[in-house]
Chain A
């Protein structure tokens, strides 16, 4: 190992092509957004400095509390994605399993669909009177709810679509992680007479924790940013207001109420919340993530 603390000019040759566009198209817009969050600003350009007003208003706005709660619930449900994906990936990854490519493709299809088509098809599936889902539940004598218009249920319904959309992506990330585990470990364990469940617990799971961490971080960020899906699934229905999430709240204040200053304050708070949770995850990872 060399003792130099810095690598001289080389890192900057590598970093400049990134830092220049980053500064122009991300950092500068972000700083301006930060500034706008301390102002009253409609989109016609007149900006008036109002200090912390937007943030104070946010703290006492019941819509913010509602959106925060909905976002938390949605994110928690979508997190179910992680164990389901691990389980399915582990099944797919069994040595000697045939049709693996087919299975991967089946689970991956939703990842590449156009969001508008997703909404059309799922709204039909969820129909209370005529939907396939309730028809299926009916076979077992269960009376399904009006999925998209029953308070409490509609958020779950959207979260199910959220899981459906991203499951394939996570399965592929996990499959990759599983491929990285040396097969000798399993062979040795089998010789010692470990059951498949025991092998999963003491070999697969620990060695998969770095991947689990990565996926958990990304899923949480994705959950906190949910907007499009809520918008297309519940847009005009009776539950649009009750089910609004943080980014939906931001959009509606900024683009429907034309209160861009307040909306940017909401946006800054969303970033701060996600940053906080991500930092927390990075701290906690030392307790449960095993790096080889």
Chain B
């Protein structure tokens, strides 16, 4: 501890600044709306009121919407991993017609502001008859440009010799990918998994536009409904968002070593 005293001081100080908004958020969930909106504001709950948490369960079908979020997140993550592994490998190691332009197209996806394609994408989903379904929420987001980019970098960082050896043994490219490269890609895939889980967990506008019933809403949309035309119920909103965050935080704590190793492997060229 003494050896890195300076580092600890900086990191701890910075860390406290980073989490202080959360400390306030946690405290505020135990306040009444009246206390949160008091002038001047107070920092410590006077009554330790649990009403905010009760209100969350009373107002939105929290568990049902949590389940929707889990389903959407799992479907998205599994599909993203498969597609990004395939695409990333193809872009990194295979030679094919129009590879450069196709990769540029994938990068373009990163540059498009989210709401720009809202209406044409909605019309497409509607023509498939996918409104108000998991398919409508999940499928348009399956091609994840960030993920393909990241997996491409990852495969570029792996040594070529292993593939060459497998090829000499008579394996076709599919077998090389499946037996040799995919196992090596595990750290990269776990990193991508956690990033995808996070993004899909909190996505708001697209599911909101596609879903037409209270019971199909993911939690992110249900939470947003605590903002009304004439003001927000602050404690319930904060409590609900805290409850929604919790699974992700736990997942991160469990996965963090893998995430970091995963990104390290790619070298990110």
Contact = CB atoms under 8 A, between A and B. Distances in A.
B115 A130 contact: no
A247 B252 CA distance: 31
Given A14-B89, A221-B110, A105 B256 contact: yes
Say whether chain B's binding surface is mostly helix, strand, loop, or mixed: helix
Interface stretch (A58-66, A144-152, A263-271): A263-271
B260 to A, nearest CB: 5
Contacts of A98: 1, 4
Nearest to B177: A14
B117 A92 contact: no
Interface string A19-43: 1011011111110110000000001
Contacts of A176: 191, 259-264
Interface string B187-206: 00001000000100110100
Residue from A11, A167, A179 whose CB has the most chain B CB atoms within 10 Å: A11
A164 B8 CA distance: 19
A113 to B, nearest CB: 6
Nearest to B226: A116
A104 to B, nearest CB: 6
A10 interface: yes
A152 B240 CA distance: 34
A286 B218 CA distance: 44
Contacts of A43: 119
15 contacts: A24-B124, A25-B121, A29-B117, A88-B14, A91-B11, A96-B3, A98-B1, A109-B249, A114-B202, A114-B245, A167-B18, A214-B268, A250-B113, A267-B112, A271-B111
Given A18-B87, A25-B140, A114-B245, 16 more contacts: A10-B174, A14-B86, A24-B124, A25-B139, A26-B117, A29-B117, A33-B116, A33-B117, A97-B4, A106-B15, A108-B256, A112-B202, A176-B263, A177-B264, A227-B115, A271-B112
Interface of A: 4-7, 10-15, 17-19, 21-22, 24-30, 32-33, 43, 88, 91-92, 94, 96-99, 101-118, 120-122, 124-125, 127, 129-130, 132, 164, 167-168, 172-173, 175-177, 179-180, 210-211, 213-214, 218, 221, 225, 227, 247, 250-251, 254-255, 260, 264, 267, 270-271, 274-275, 278, 291-292
